[in-house]
Amino acid sequence: MSVFRTVEHTSDICIIGAGMAGICAAIAAARNGATVTLINDRAVLGGNASEEIRMWICGAFGANMRETGIIEEIELENIYRNPQKNYSQWSALLFDFVTREANIELVLNASVLDADVAETGGVGATERGSGARGEPDVATPDAPGTTIRSVTAWQTTTQRYHTIAAMLFIDCSGDSILAPLTGAEHRWGREEKTEFGESHAVDTADAKTMGMSCLIQVRETEKPQRFIPPEFAHRYEREHIGPGRSLDLRKTNFWWLESGGEGDTIHDTETVRDDLLAVATGVWDLIKRYEDDYDARNWTLDWLGFLPGKRESRRYVGDHIISQGDVEAGGPFEDVIAYAGWSMDNHAPAGFYDPGEPTVFHPAPSPWAIPYRALYSKNVTNLMCAGRNISASHIA
């Protein structure tokens, strides 16, 4: 028996991950009368758009395009309350949006580590209790009818377990934590061209993905600023900066400070993070050493991200897998539930270390539609997903 206390919760819907997808899912469900437990493994909300990572929201792409629904509601209120785009105020705004909903119970600083599932798919069905912690290298789907009864999370700030029983679970964690815990079918890596007839895909399937980034933010001041690089920083010269990697301080957020896609973007995160910090500070050191060439004399490194923003890892398999052809056709589905607007932005797995362009922006119509069938697990009956882990090919 554990010496740590377990707090038990019961709700209609349990949502894992409070990035923008999880926030919107929770608010939508709560406003429609459902009770919601929203779990987040960080202290601040927003995921890749949080003050810890600082990737801007950019689904609406092109002239006269705007977000819609709850995400637009959040952005409009942020313009009104936070016109200076202060990230602490952005965090407060997201916290306000969630906590003002009476039907949402928010559990912060808690990482899901277990799931209690039942295989109810007919005669002879068995149960898997809360010991389903071993993660296979390759997903092994359970029999039809697998149902999640509860999940358990560990909260670091209180040293307590939280067990949440619910009728429906929505995995918005990005890394699809419920996939290995429940046996939900999922994919990893790049499909070959022939599987979906994707011209942008690789010739031979592999386990490579897009990488992750530790972003930096720089600020112009009124007087010269010195930068003394930390000992862990890499030392670069201008020839180390590959094509397509802008050093224009007024036009880039340094998204190309990226790596990790050639390895494992979940289990290698800590190692990749350390290297990204060395890359980021090394690039800034290069800019400051040649500051007159980059008009950087009065610029200072204002913020360095220590939490990598991820692009790709596990992707759930639903009743439909969105592919390149679906995107290029604009998403001609009868069960359209949402829209995307960004191009098929295919980053080089090696990121900063790739000698070529860091990404290829394959054109796509804006907007293009996303079907409902891509937002739930095909073999776990009460599991849905939203965010970067939905049912889609690597290219899509």
Percent of the chain with pLDDT over 70: 94
Q: Which pLDDT does position 121 carry in this prediction? A: 63
SS3 of residue 167 by DSSP: strand
What is the mean predicted confidence (pLDDT) over 85-111?
99
Q: Which pLDDT does position 30 carry in this prediction? A: 99
Distance CA 300, CA 51 (A): 19
Q: pLDDT confidence of 60, banded at 50, 70, 90?
A: confident
139 has a pLDDT exceeding 50 = no
Please give the model's pTM, rounded to 2 decimal places: 0.93
Distance CA 329, CA 196 (A): 14
Q: Which of 343, 347, 338 is nearest to 385 (CA)?
A: 338
Per-residue buried b or exposed e for 375-395, using 16+ beta carbons within 10 Å of the residue's own CB? bbbbbbbbbbbbbbbbbbbbb
DSSP state of 276: H
129 has a pLDDT exceeding 60 = no
> Cβ(309)–Cβ(258) under 8 Å?
no
Distance CA 22, CA 45 (A): 9
What is the mean predicted confidence (pLDDT) over 38-61?
95
> Cβ(139)–Cβ(73) under 8 Å?
no
67 has a pLDDT exceeding 70 = yes
What is the mean predicted confidence (pLDDT) over 239-262?
96
Q: pLDDT confidence of 144, banded at 50, 70, 90?
A: low
Q: Which pLDDT does position 294 carry in this prediction? A: 96
138 has a pLDDT exceeding 70 = no
Q: Which pLDDT does position 79 carry in this prediction? A: 97
> Which tokens go with 93?
């705004």
Q: Which of 174, 172, 60, 155 is nearest to 113 (CA)?
A: 155
Distance CA 328, CA 313 (A): 23
Per-residue buried b or exposed e for 3-27, using 16+ beta carbons within 10 Å of the residue's own CB? eeeeeebebbbbbbbbbbbbbbbbb
Q: Which pLDDT does position 125 carry in this prediction? A: 38
Average pLDDT, the chain: 94
Q: Which pLDDT does position 219 carry in this prediction? A: 97
What is the mean predicted confidence (pLDDT) over 110-127?
75
Per CATH, domain 6-188+373-385 is 3.60.15.10: no
1 has a pLDDT exceeding 90 = no
- Note the pLDDT tens digit of each residue in 190-249: 999 999 999 999 999 999 999 999 999 999 999 999 999 999 999 999 999 999 999 999
Q: Which pLDDT does position 192 carry in this prediction? A: 98
* Identity at 51, one-letter amino acid code: E
Q: Which of 386, 391, 377 is nearest to 184 (CA)?
A: 377
- Note the pLDDT tens digit of each residue in 313-361: 999 999 999 999 999 999 999 999 999 999 999 999 999 999 999 999 9
- Note the pLDDT tens digit of each residue in 286-317: 999 999 999 999 999 999 999 999 999 999 99
127 has a pLDDT exceeding 90 = no
As annotated, the residues of the chain forming the CATH 3.50.50.60 domain(s) are 6-188+373-385
SS3 of residue 164 by DSSP: strand
* Identity at 277, one-letter amino acid code: L
Which helix (H) or strand (E) is 112 found in, with range? strand 110-119
Distance CA 254, CA 83 (A): 23
Q: Tell me how many degrees the CA angle 195-264-209 measures, rounded to the nearest 5.
A: 40
Beta bridge partners of 148: 117
- Supply the Cα-derived Rg of the chain in whole angstroms: 22
